[in-house]
């Protein structure tokens, strides 16, 4: 995880391989980084290289077995809540693919710019269940379109993502970071207590629903034989492309 200070804004870059997949170590590092910025004037979250985040490292999940899966899912839910509940302005600069967990992280931010790639929640295409914590983050931005996005697993180009609310603005790649920084600076200019109180009120209902997530049930299903077989089959199909 790289952190760069740009004036009043802390720019956090997700870094893990060519497409910034989410493994246990990456999740823990991201959570710790954001926890260390709870008093920052504002934060921009983006990805290193050509992707924002392509989601869960499924191979590592299969190789790690049931105990790793449990630890991973607890950490994943923790990151989703850390992003969604962060007290300071958090702006996403989606520089490339934001798939599954990557999409949920972007959705948890206060404002989202996108310049390239595709975005969407492909969990059901992989064969894994969609936990309530992730669902509420998507519902918060996509509203009534959430069911179609989740059930089809469709990934969207920037203009289509804008139309359904997954992103707030589409910009050219060269303008992405500057646009995100300008929005973050505008948020940072609002008195901190006013922004934080308003953000908490806006997200209160979603946070209550997230708190009711049956994480033990989710872990059990992810570790079940049919789901692990589905993940394996999905990876085999990807390898043949």
* Catalytically annotated residues: 123
Query: For residues 240 and 70, what is the distance between their CA atoms, to the nearest angstrom?
Result: 29
Nearest to 31 by CA among 82, 71, 92: 82
> In b/e form, how buried is each residue of 208-234, taking b as 16+ CB within 10 angstroms?
eebeebeeeebbeebbeeebbebbeeb
User: Are the C-beta atoms of residues 39 and 31 closer than 8 Å to each other?
Assistant: no
Residues 6+ apart with CB under 8 A from 43: 9, 10, 11, 12, 34, 37, 86, 88, 89, 90, 91, 184
CA 78 to chain centroid: 11
User: Are the C-beta atoms of residues 72 and 39 closer than 8 Å to each other?
Assistant: no
Token pair of 25 as six digits: 């170590």
């Amino acid at each position: 995880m790289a952190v760069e200070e740009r004036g009043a804004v802390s720019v956090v870059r997700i870094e893990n391989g060519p497409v910034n997949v989410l493994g246990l170590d990456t999740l823990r590092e991201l959570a710790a980084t954001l926890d260390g910025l709870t008093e920052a004037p504002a934060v921009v979250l983006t990805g290193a290289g050509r992707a924002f985040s392509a989601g869960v490292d499924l191979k590592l999940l299969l190789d790690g077995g049931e105990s790793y899966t449990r630890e991973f899912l607890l950490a994943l839910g923790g990151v989703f809540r850390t992003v969604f509940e962060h007290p300071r302005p958090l702006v996403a600069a989606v520089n490339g693919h934001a798939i599954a967990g990557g999409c949920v992280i972007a959705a948890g931010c206060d404002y989202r710019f996108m310049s390239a790639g595709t975005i969407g929640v492909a969990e059901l295409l992989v064969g894994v269940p969609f936990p309530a914590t992730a669902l509420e983050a998507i519902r918060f931005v996509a509203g009534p379109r959430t069911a179609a996005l989740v059930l089809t697993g469709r990934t969207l180009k920037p203009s289509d993502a804008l139309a359904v609310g997954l992103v707030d603005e589409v910009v050219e790649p060269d303008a992405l970071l500057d646009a995100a920084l300008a929005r973050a600076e505008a948020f940072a200019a609002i008195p901190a207590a006013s922004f934080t109180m308003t953000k908490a009120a806006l997200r209160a209902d979603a946070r209550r629903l997230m708190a009711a997530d049956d994480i033990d049930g989710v872990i059990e299903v992810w570790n079940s034989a049919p789901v692990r077989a589905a993940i394996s089959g999905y990876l085999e199909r990807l390898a043949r492309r």
